């Protein structure tokens, strides 16, 4: 039996990029709703790949510490995409949180 790809889409519930004085409640960005599962996962894969490469470069070269925050932000972005897709695939969660 061939593998079937679920028809889930992002729902736009996951946010990222804390900002403000009380960093727990202000988020600068949100995953856009309506992106098909395969495209969102492909984008997350690319974002997380570059986060990994920048983190490795920052760890191996003392002069590359500037890459650490870029890696952090890319990792946060990739995680938000995955989190949003997981929320979309849970029963009864097709609305914004």
- Domain extents for the chain? 15-89
pTM: 0.81
What are 11-52's pLDDT values in tens digits? 999 999 988 777 667 889 999 999 999 999 999 999 999 999
Residue spans of alpha helices (H) in 3-95? 37-60, 67-89
Distances (CA, A) of 17 to 25, 27, 28, 29, 77: 11, 5, 5, 6, 8
Asked whether the beta carbons of 38 and 8 are under 8 A apart, the reply is no
Provide CB contacts within 8 A for 85, sequence distance 6+. Answer: 8, 10, 37, 40, 41, 44
Mapped onto helix, strand or coil, the DSSP state of residue 13 is coil
* Count of CB atoms situated within 10 Å of the CB of 32: 13
The pair of three-digit structure tokens given for residue 88, joined into one six-digit string? 């979309």
Query: In the block, which residue shows the tokens 């870029």?
Result: 70
Residue 5: pLDDT band (50, 70, 90) is low
3-state SS, residue 27: strand
């Amino acid at each position: 039996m061939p593998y079937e790809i679920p028809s889930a889409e992002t729902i736009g519930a996951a946010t990222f990029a804390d900002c403000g004085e009380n960093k727990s409640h202000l988020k600068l960005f949100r995953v856009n709703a309506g992106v098909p599962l395969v495209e969102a996962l492909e984008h997350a894969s690319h974002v997380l790949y570059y986060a990994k490469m920048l983190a490795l470069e920052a760890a191996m070269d003392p002069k590359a510490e500037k890459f650490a925050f870029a890696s952090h932000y890319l990792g946060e972005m990739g995680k938000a995409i995955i989190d949003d897709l997981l929320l979309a695939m849970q029963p009864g969660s097709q609305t914004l949180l």
